[in-house]
Amino acid sequence: MTLGLSAAMLSTTLLHLSSCKESPRENPLLQESTLPFGAPDFNKIQAADFLPAFEVAIQQKRDEIAQITENPDPATFENTILALEESGHTLNRVSRIFNALTDADKTPEIGETEKQVTPMLTDLENEISFNKTLFERIRQVYEQEFDTLQGEDKKLLEETYKSFVRKGALLPDDKMARMKEINLRISDLQIQWGDMLPKATNDAVVWVEKKEDLAGLSEADIAQCQKDAESRGEKAPYAIVIVNTTQQALLSSLDNRELRRKIFEASVHRADGTGKYNTFPIVVEIAKLRAEQAEIMGYPNFASYSLEKTMAKTPENVYAFLRNLIAQYTPKAQAETKAIEDYARKTQGADFQLQPYDRFYYSAKMKKELLAISDDEVKPYFNVDSVLINGVFYAANRVYGLTFKQRTDIPTYHPDMKVFEVIDKDGTTKALFYCDYFRRPTKRGGAWMDSFAKQSHQRQQLPIIFNVCNNAKAPEGQPSLLTWDEVSTMFHEFGHALHGMLSDCQYNRLSGTSVARDFVEMPSQFNESFATIPEVFDHFARHCETGQPMPAELKERMLQSINFQTAYSLGENLAATCADMAWHMLSSDQIPTAEQADNFETEALRQVGLLDAQIPPRYHTSYFNHVWGGGYAAGYYSYLWTEVLAVNIADVFAQRGALQPETGQDFRDKILSRGNTGDLMQMFTDFTGMQQPDASGLLRARGL
C-alpha cells in the first residue's frame, strides 16, 4: 500500500505479529530494496515500520563504531576513517526515507514517530561526536597520514577530523557534557518547531463565505479556493491557504481590500502569539543555546562559529557584502514604493496610503497598464507538465545530454508523484529522479531538493534524488497552471537535483550537494537562467489547450515584465537575511525574551536601514523555518551570495553559447560532478577564470 494514500491508511494499527498464524512480516526498511537503484519500496513500507527500524539501525551503528574503537591495530585511514564513512548504511537509508516523509507527507503517525526518534538520533550523534577513543584514532590518522594522502582520501580525512573538532571533541569533560545537553535540547525544540509551524500555517487559512468577495481572481484560482476549503473541513465555501512566505500571491489580483488585509495579517501573525500559536519561546531558547554553543567553542557568537566553514568565513565579510547591496538597493526601493503609491492615488484619491497588502495589487495593475501583461494572461502557457518535460528536462538535455524516461513501475509515497530514470548521453543510467509538486496539508511550506540515496562509487550507489514544491493542483481533468515565480522555482530546485545527479565522487560524505551553504545555492540559482533562454522558453511555454507556443508579442511583454519592480524581492530577502544575522550575532546573555522577540527584529532592521512596512522580511522571525527549523542559521545570506556566483557563471555560459554542450560539460566536470572534493572558490575560478566573484552584476541581473 503506497504511503500517503490517506492518513487513515497510514494510521491503521498493525496486528501483533505474534498473534498471527502467518510468517512474521519482515520490516522492509531493514532489507535491501530489490527495486532498481535500491529505491524505497513504498508498496511495502508502512508508517509503523519506522520506529522498530530505527531501533535496529541505531544499534547496528553503535556496533560498527565499537568495532572501530575496539580494533587493537594502530589507527589507519582504512580501519578508522573509511570504516567510519562506511558505517550506518541501514540507518542512513531509514533516515533518508523518514526525513522525506516528515517534510512532505507528515501524517499524525509519522509526526508521533518523529518525536520518539529524534532524541534517539541525537543521543547517538552525541555518543559518536564525543567518543574520546574514536576521536583519538581519528586524530592519529590526521597527524600521521594527512600529508601523504591524496585526492578524495585526503579531503575525507580533513572533513572528518575537522567536523569532530567543531562539534567539541577537544573540549574538557564538563564542557563536553554541556554540549551534549545543548544538542539534545535543540533537537527537542526543533521537533516542537517542526510540529507547531505547519499547524500555525494551516490554522491561518482565511475563510470566505461569498464568491463575490473573491472578485479579481481567475476561475481557476476560485476553483482552487473551493478545493482547499473542501480539504480543510469546509468551514466556509472557500478557503485562502497561507503559504510559507510573508506575501501571498493572491494579493496581486484580489479586489477586496479588507480581504487582502485579512490575508496579509493572517500571514504575518500566524505564529507570533497574537493567535493560537506562538513560536517565540522556541526561537529565543534555540538562539540562546546556539550562542552558548559558540561560546563553549571559543567564539563570541554563533554567527562567527557557523560562518567559519563557509566561503564568506566571517560575519564582517557578510555584513560588508550586505551593506554594499543595501546602499544600492535603498533608493531604488523608495522610488518603487512611491511609483506604486502614486499610481494607486490616481484611482483611490490623493490621500490614499499604500499598505503592504496593497502593494502587489497595485503593482500588478500598474504592470498590466504599462506592459499590458497579467499573470492570468500567461498562466495558460505554464502547464506544470510542460514546464517539467519541455522546459526543465529539455534544458538539461541540451546542455548536459541527459534524457528522462518515466518509470511507472517504481512506487512513491504519494500518488501525485512521478518518477524518472535519468539517462546520460552515453546511454548509461545516471540517476533516479522523483518530483512531488503539489501542496497538501501534510506537506510543509516551501520547495526543496533531497535524496533517498546520494551518489558514491565506494558504495556503488547511483543517486536517487527528489524535488518538492507547493504548487496548487487543479481539479481533476484540468491542467495545473503555474505563475512565473513557480516556473522559476521548478528550474531552481532542479539545479539542486542536477548537483546531486551528476555527482561523480568516491565517498558519500563528499558527494553531490555536500558543500558549504553559500555555495550550494549556486547551481540552483544558475539553473533558473535557462528558463528565459528563447529556445527553452519557446519549448515549454505552450498553451494548455491548444499546444501552441506563446505568441511572440505576448512573450516579449512577459519577459519584459520579469524585472518589473524587482526592488521588493531583493528587499524582502535582505530584510530576512539581516534578521537572521542579528539573532546570531548575540552573546548568550543578550538574547531577548519571547515577549521582546518581535521588537528585537524591528530594531535590528531599523539599525541596518531595512525597517520598511512596505517591504517586510520574506520571513518574519516567528515563521523563519530556514533558520529555526533548517540548516540556515546565520546563513540565509547565502541566497544572495550564491546569486552573485550564479550571475557570473551565467555570463560565462552566455559568452560561450548558453546551450552549448561543450560549456555544459565543462561546468559539469569542474563544478557539478565534484561535490565537496576540492576548494570551492578554486572550482569557481577553474570554470569562470575569475579569481573572485563580481557582485556588480547582481543588481543588473535583477533589472535594478
Burial of 150 by CB count in 10 Å (0-12 exposed, 13-18 middle, 19+ buried)? exposed
Position 523: which residue type? P
Cβ atoms of residues 544 and 378 within 8 Å: no
Helix intervals (H) in 297-355: 302-307, 315-348
C-alpha cell at 451: 535524496
For residue 313, the SS3 value is coil
Cβ atoms of residues 416 and 463 within 8 Å: no
Is there a catalytic annotation at residue 493? yes
Residue tagged 578524495 (cell numbers): 152
For residue 514, the SS3 value is coil
Distance, first Cα to last Cα, the chain: 52
Choosing from 493, 521, 528, 643, the catalytic residue is: 493
Cα four-point dihedral sign 142, 147, 151, 155? positive
Q: How far is CA 674 from the centre of its chain?
A: 21
Burial of 634 by CB count in 10 Å (0-12 exposed, 13-18 middle, 19+ buried)? buried
Cβ atoms of residues 453 and 461 within 8 Å: yes
**CA gap 618, 91 in Å, rounded:** 35
C-alpha cell at 8: 487513515
Element (H, E) at 453: strand 448-453
Per-position DSSP letters for 188-228, written without gaps between them: HHHHHHHHHHHHHHHHTPEEE--GGGGTTS-HHHHHHHHHH
Contacts with 157 (C-beta within 8 Å, 6 or more apart), sequence order: 77, 81, 141, 142, 145, 146, 149
C-alpha cell at 45: 513500507
**CA gap 220, 474 in Å, rounded:** 7
For residue 483, the SS3 value is coil
- Which of 527, 507, 519, 412 lies closest to 454, judged by CA? 507
**CA gap 634, 585 in Å, rounded:** 8
Residue-wise burial string across 24-50, b where 16 or more C-beta atoms lie within 10 A, e elsewhere: eeebbbeeebebebbbbbbebbbbbbb
Residue tagged 558549504 (cell numbers): 516
C-alpha cell at 97: 526515507
**CA gap 130, 547 in Å, rounded:** 60
**CA gap 447, 440 in Å, rounded:** 13
C-alpha cell at 428: 548509461
Residue-wise burial string across 68-84, b where 16 or more C-beta atoms lie within 10 A, e elsewhere: beeeeeebbbebbbbbb
Cα atoms in the Cβ-side hemisphere of radius 13 Å centred on 609? 13
**CA gap 62, 325 in Å, rounded:** 48
Contacts with 181 (C-beta within 8 Å, 6 or more apart), sequence order: none
Question: Catalytic residue positions?
Answer: 493
